[in-house]
Structure 1
């Protein structure tokens, strides 16, 4: 890859090839494109990037505290106005940063605007009387802790805003609040279906797990579709994969019946997750799959060799066995991946090549 330094651009400007006023903007653009190049295995974090994302997450997390302070100080009307002004300011800053070539902070400010949408809808719901009988009527922060059907309106508005801003700004980080909202929706839809029923009874809990499992599977399919569509550009699928796996794997883990057959099925599914992660080049699959495998093997070892020194031996052997499987896979990964790619559609082969870790 050709490396372009400021000295090179300055020399071009001195030779009359480049306008000197364009040097800073061009450098920012090249740095942003290089940092997000999929051929380099995704975004490469520098100290500056860490500061960008840390500041952005602090600003997004502060929205709940901001909501509480605004409500205590002036009520829901003030909260609605302030959240809208806050979002408008974030969008204005994002637009200005984008014009100057600062893509990462622009995406973070646009994400902040999306994160403020549920806050504004929550205040509007209060003004319209939606929360008069709500158990968490005065605490927006409970949006992240309690399940309630009224959150669905906030989630739908957030998804609409996320789609609009993704169309406008096209930065992968904007997928984070969208994926998080889809995950919340998978939990809140059960109380919406059981408005007059017990949302926490045994039957409702079983329904909640099934719907969370289904939502997770749909999010993973959506992530794969998005991955295919964006295979030649930025990675828009990462957050969908993460929260889709969180919903699917979490619901699957909560469904365990304790029977040996169920544990073996769960073990097989987690091995498939690890395999899928290796094929797709998505380490997040391997993380969840590896955790599930460790849970099942640990549980089986404990029940079979409880109060025995053999328990330690079995766990050690299992650990060595997994390392051995990893070594075998590393030696044969290229050949296996090559055989798989030969029978896959062309678009999928391009995706695997584009997302292959470098």
Structure 2
């Protein structure tokens, strides 16, 4: 059942609820039902403008930026960051303007890589050799970017302590994803192998997923989404790129992706089912192209399997609560109590 402001006004006139309660309920629902911001044209414009600003100062920079030098990079990064932070803080104090305020704070955090890059240019202090131009930060895997990523994670963490706005976790999770790639060069040196990179990406992705799990549903707002997304990218890409010459290894890969789809139901997170479905599709494509290439019946058998999956979906939809309850009962009680849905 849905309620409008008119219904709430009627409840106030009837003496069912107090005027203060009515105002609190309106503020709660207009703030995105206590969680994500409401889907309004104003919020769409806020996020669109914020993404344009962030993109302009990060992934859309050009070769012309190199003419600024280290001091220019430092002044622009720190200047823009402080300006965004000041405007964001001013809007944040106005409850009805917290969405644009939080977006500007996020933009301030996104200026950290440029600021750190400027400091490193001036000091000449890199992990190894200078990794290249600032625009290469978003293109190439190099250990020299390490402190830019660590700095962004640290500044984002500090921002989250003051501004409880989930979008701030975007640059944090994004930098952690980049760190999962550049960390290979830090651990193994510039002559790392691709196999080492794959393993580091897989393990780091798992760590990010674990971090997302720990913060999931601790508050009404969703601070886990970006950790899950970029953690899943790091883990799944590392897993998918691992070479396996055996059919058993490829079958295990399919099973892991099926497990991800099951996890999506337990955690109620769509990102797991998206990547899991992609992985299963890759395995089925392998069967069609390499294993049963000359077998006419494979396509018919696979279509039959698809119909069975649809029927299973119908049964699941019909008995969803009972099935999920039984599935949860299979988990040890200690694990079941830690699930986000029970927090």
Provide, for residues 240-276 of structure 1, a one-character-per-residue CA deviation record: whole Å limited to 9, x for no partner: 1111111111101011313110111111111110001
Aligned pair partner of 1:113 in 105, 108, 113: 108
- Give the Cα–Cα distance (whole angstroms) in 2 for the partners of residues 278 and 18 of structure 1: 40
Structure 1: 5+ residue stretches without partners: none
Equivalent position of 2:304 in the other structure:
317
Equivalent position of 1:217 in the other structure:
206
- Give the Cα–Cα distance (whole angstroms) in 1 for the partners of residues 63 and 84 of structure 2: 19
C-alpha contact (below 8 Å) 1:121/1:154 kept by paired residues: yes
- Give the Cα–Cα distance (whole angstroms) in 2 for the partners of residues 64 and 154 of structure 1: 12
Farther off after superposition, 264-273 or 323-332: 323-332
Question: How big is the shift at 1:181?
Answer: 0.9
Equivalent position of 1:153 in the other structure:
147
- Give the Cα–Cα distance (whole angstroms) in 2 for the partners of residues 36 and 72 of structure 1: 45
In the TM superposition, what are the counterparts of 1:73-88 in structure 2 within 5 Å? 73-88=67-82
Equivalent position of 2:5 in the other structure:
4
Change (3 A) 1:208 1:264: same
Question: How big is the shift at 1:97?
Answer: 1.5
Q: Which has the higher contact order (CA 8 A, sep 6+)?
A: 1
Change (3 A) 1:259 1:299: same
C-alpha contact (below 8 Å) 1:273/1:289 kept by paired residues: yes
Change (3 A) 1:92 1:295: same
Equivalent position of 1:287 in the other structure:
274
Question: How big is the shift at 1:337?
Answer: 2.1
Task: Give the root-mean-square deviation of aligned CA atoms.
Answer: 3.1
C-alpha contact (below 8 Å) 1:162/1:178 kept by paired residues: yes
- Give the Cα–Cα distance (whole angstroms) in 2 for the partners of residues 133 and 278 of structure 1: 44
TM normalised by structure 1 equals: 0.82
Residue 93 in structure 1 maps to residue 87 in structure 2: yes
- Give the Cα–Cα distance (whole angstroms) in 2 for the partners of residues 36 and 147 of structure 1: 40
Provide, for residues 133-185 of structure 1, a one-character-per-residue CA deviation record: whole Å limited to 9, x for no partner: 84752x21211110111111111111110110000001111111111111111
C-alpha contact (below 8 Å) 1:301/1:315 kept by paired residues: no
Aligned pair partner of 1:122 in 102, 117, 123: 117
Change (3 A) 1:59 1:285: same
Residue 329 in structure 1 maps to residue 324 in structure 2: no
- Match of 1:75, SS? helix
- Give the Cα–Cα distance (whole angstroms) in 1 for the partners of residues 321 and 148 of structure 2: 46
Structure 2: 5+ residue stretches without partners: none
TM normalised by structure 2 equals: 0.85
Provide, for residues 293-317 of structure 1, a one-character-per-residue CA deviation record: whole Å limited to 9, x for no partner: 1111121122233255545434433
C-alpha contact (below 8 Å) 1:70/1:78 kept by paired residues: no
Change (3 A) 1:59 1:27: farther
Aligned pair partner of 2:233 in 243, 246, 268: 246
Aligned pair partner of 2:191 in 192, 195, 198: 198
Farther off after superposition, 295-304 or 271-280: 295-304
- Give the Cα–Cα distance (whole angstroms) in 1 for the partners of residues 141 and 228 of structure 2: 23
Change (3 A) 1:315 1:49: farther
Q: How many residues align?
A: 331
In the TM superposition, what are the counterparts of 1:12-31 in structure 2 within 5 Å? 29-31=27-29
- Give the Cα–Cα distance (whole angstroms) in 2 for the partners of residues 215 and 128 of structure 1: 30
- Give the Cα–Cα distance (whole angstroms) in 1 for the partners of residues 154 and 110 of structure 2: 12
In the TM superposition, what are the counterparts of 1:261-280 in structure 2 within 5 Å? 261-280=248-267
Change (3 A) 1:29 1:82: farther
Farther off after superposition, 219-228 or 318-327: 318-327
Residue 304 in structure 1 maps to residue 291 in structure 2: yes
Change (3 A) 1:135 1:125: closer
- Match of 1:293, SS? helix
- Match of 1:64, SS? coil
- Give the Cα–Cα distance (whole angstroms) in 1 for the partners of residues 60 and 253 of structure 2: 42
- Give the Cα–Cα distance (whole angstroms) in 2 for the partners of residues 311 and 189 of structure 1: 43
- Give the Cα–Cα distance (whole angstroms) in 2 for the partners of residues 84 and 192 of structure 1: 26
Change (3 A) 1:339 1:317: closer
Equivalent position of 1:348 in the other structure:
338
